[in-house]
């Protein structure tokens, strides 16, 4: 077996893992969502957990898919055309990842996480007495 076919097989396997992560995450999230509805949990909270779990599964699956593309492109045919196509694919998937991150967390990935209560990064504004 030659090097190119081994790398292609590895890339295809990683693609499969990425797709499997998305599918399994979607199925598990849907089952948890339906279970939450059947046990009469609050719909809004159950729905938020469902969206968050589904988004995380998609993000993780996208990471595997990008890794597979990088492995195949860099190891097999590092031409300017293939690297350009890879750059476009990575840019689109990165945009999707950022969009999902904003949707899930309500902030950009580089923004500090807000905590409840007082202290650094707090949502609360200290009150002053007048």
- Residues 28 and 50: their CA atoms lie apart, in Å, by 9
Please tell me the pTM assigned to this model.
0.72
Across all residues in the chain, what is the average pLDDT?
A: 83
Residues 66, 3, 7: CA angle, nearest 5 degrees: 20
Average the pLDDT over 38-64 and give the result. 90
pLDDT digits (tens, 9 = 90+) for 52-108: 899 889 989 988 998 998 888 888 777 888 888 888 888 888 888 888 878 777 777
pLDDT value of position 75: 81
- Residues 119 and 62: their CA atoms lie apart, in Å, by 35
pLDDT value of position 80: 87
Give the other-Cβ count within 10 Å of 11's Cβ: 19
Which position has the token pair 């007082």? 118
Task: Name the residue with higher pLDDT: 130 or 85.
Answer: 85
- Residues 88 and 46: their CA atoms lie apart, in Å, by 36
pLDDT value of position 93: 81
Please state the domain extents for the chain.
Answer: 3-105
Categorize the per-residue pLDDT at 123 as very low, low, confident or very high, splitting at 50, 70 and 90. Answer: very low
- Residues 31 and 49: their CA atoms lie apart, in Å, by 12
Residue 120 clears pLDDT 50, i.e. is over it: no
Q: Which of 76, 55, 72, 52 is nearest to 44 (CA)?
A: 52
Give the other-Cβ count within 10 Å of 57's Cβ: 19
């Amino acid at each position: 077996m030659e090097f190119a076919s081994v790398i292609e097989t590895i890339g295809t396997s990683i693609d499969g893992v990425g797709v499997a992560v998305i599918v399994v995450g979607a199925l598990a999230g849907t089952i948890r969502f339906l279970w939450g509805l059947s046990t009469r949990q609050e719909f809004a909270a159950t729905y938020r957990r469902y969206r968050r779990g589904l988004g995380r599964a998609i993000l993780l699956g996208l990471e595997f898919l990008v890794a597979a593309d990088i492995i195949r492109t860099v190891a097999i045919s590092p031409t300017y055309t293939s690297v350009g196509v890879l750059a476009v694919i990575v840019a689109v998937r990165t945009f999707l990842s950022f969009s999902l991150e904003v949707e899930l967390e309500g902030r950009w990935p580089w923004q500090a996480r807000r905590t409840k209560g007082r202290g650094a990064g707090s949502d609360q504004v200290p009150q002053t007495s007048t």
